[in-house]
Amino acid sequence: MVVVGVFGVVMQIVPLLVWAERRICAWVQDRVGPNRVGPFGLFQPLADAIKLLFKEDVLPDGVDRFLYFLAPALAFFPAAMTATVIPFGAPIMVGGDLLHLQVCRGNVGMLLFLALTGLSVYGIAFGGWASNNKFAMLGGLRASAQVLSYEIAMGLALVSVFMTSQSVDLNVIVADQTGTWLGFIPKWNAVKQPIAFVIFFVAAFAETNRLPFDLPECEAELIGGYHTEYSSMKFSLFFLAEYAAMFSSCCMITTLFLGGWSFPGMPSGNTGVLFGFLTLGVFFAKVLVLLFFFILVRWTLPRFRFDQLMHLGWKSLIPLSLANIAATGVAAQL
């Protein structure tokens, strides 16, 4: 049931996100945005999906057929899978059984997350390589280089979180963030580990290929980057993947740094259904705020240049995260 629920949420959040992105960007840009199909234009993503389904599926000359077909699926799969490790809410007692609102429990969750995010770049790199297009290939190359620069910083930022929480189990990490200081400052990792929070946040932008790090697609110079040659449903899978990855990343940031489903002043040990839904609501409220921020950033900032991005990754974020680990270690011994 939880599996279906999580998959359903990921699939449903994507059209909503697309709609939100278009409305928010219209708001930033003094426009109206889609408002014709359905109430407030809410059915616009549906109309887009139908349009994309009926588009001609173009197979350009000279493509590597196997990889060309594999790439969109490979891009979407990890993006949708990462949501499985997230604890979405407090466990609920249903008919004597404790129902965990998490698909994949246990302490390997974090490793699975790291493995899957590492995998997601293959879809983009293969797509760029297989398309037999120079712009696409450059996009794929950029994606690979970008992931190399950011995966490490991301992992190192996580290490310091693990050090604070003394665990890699996401449930323990969430439990560690309950409670407050002075009654109003929540004991979130964002407060305990502000540097790791910022690094992870920046890396999440790079991971999801969102502006200012959307170099693999970069419509200004690479036209569409890795998906230049894709059309129809294959294109929409790439599209879905981007938004699903954005959602997963925001879930991960919420869980790791913003206290997950917990909230200040929360009673502990409650397993009621209503309480479960309340924590679920708290979790999604945090995620939505993050998503809003993701979208706002995209429509505000210019994008980095390729070498500047590598510079930022290797020369700023990685040393900073290493220093942060050292500082955390020292602080833990004091």
Residues that bind other proteins (CB under 8 A): 25, 28-31, 62, 132-135, 138, 142, 211-212, 214, 218-223, 299-308
Closest CB 225 distance from other proteins, rounded Å: 12
Closest CB 62 distance from other proteins, rounded Å: 7
User: Residue 287: which residues within 8 A CB-CB, separation 6 or more?
Assistant: 247, 250, 251, 254
Q: Contact 157/324 with Cβ under 8 angstroms?
A: yes
At 49, list the tokens. Answer: 């999906």
* Coil vs helix vs strand at 181: strand
Closest CB 306 distance from other proteins, rounded Å: 5
Closest CB 4 distance from other proteins, rounded Å: 38
Complex with other proteins: residue 26 or 322, whichever CB lies closer: 26
Phi/psi of residue 93, nearest 5 degrees: -90, 110
Between strands 92-94 and 97-99, the pairing is: antiparallel
Closest CB 294 distance from other proteins, rounded Å: 15
- 187: amino acid identity, one letter: K
Residue with tokens 């479960």, as numbered in its chain = 276
Phi/psi of residue 101, nearest 5 degrees: -85, 60
Strand-pairing partners, residue 186, are 180
Phi/psi of residue 92, nearest 5 degrees: -115, 140
Q: Contact 274/113 with Cβ under 8 angstroms?
A: no
* Coil vs helix vs strand at 94: strand
Closest CB 283 distance from other proteins, rounded Å: 30
Complex with other proteins: residue 81 or 136, whichever CB lies closer: 136
Complex with other proteins: residue 193 or 228, whichever CB lies closer: 228
Closest CB 138 distance from other proteins, rounded Å: 7
Complex with other proteins: residue 166 or 308, whichever CB lies closer: 308
Complex with other proteins: residue 227 or 286, whichever CB lies closer: 227
Which stretches of the chain are assigned E, i.e. beta strand? 92-94, 97-99, 180-181, 185-186
Complex with other proteins: residue 56 or 61, whichever CB lies closer: 61
Instruction: End-to-end CA distance of the chain: give it in Å, rounded.
Output: 46
**Cα(322)–Cα(319) distance, integer angstroms:** 5
Instruction: For Cα atoms 242, 130, 229, give the angle at the middle one, nearest 5 degrees.
Output: 60
At 228, list the tokens. Answer: 């230049």
Complex with other proteins: residue 110 or 137, whichever CB lies closer: 137
Strand-pairing partners, residue 193, are none
Closest CB 233 distance from other proteins, rounded Å: 24
Complex with other proteins: residue 12 or 29, whichever CB lies closer: 29
Closest CB 284 distance from other proteins, rounded Å: 27
Complex with other proteins: residue 68 or 135, whichever CB lies closer: 135
* CA distances from residue 117 to 121, 128, 246 in whole angstroms, order as listed: 7, 18, 11
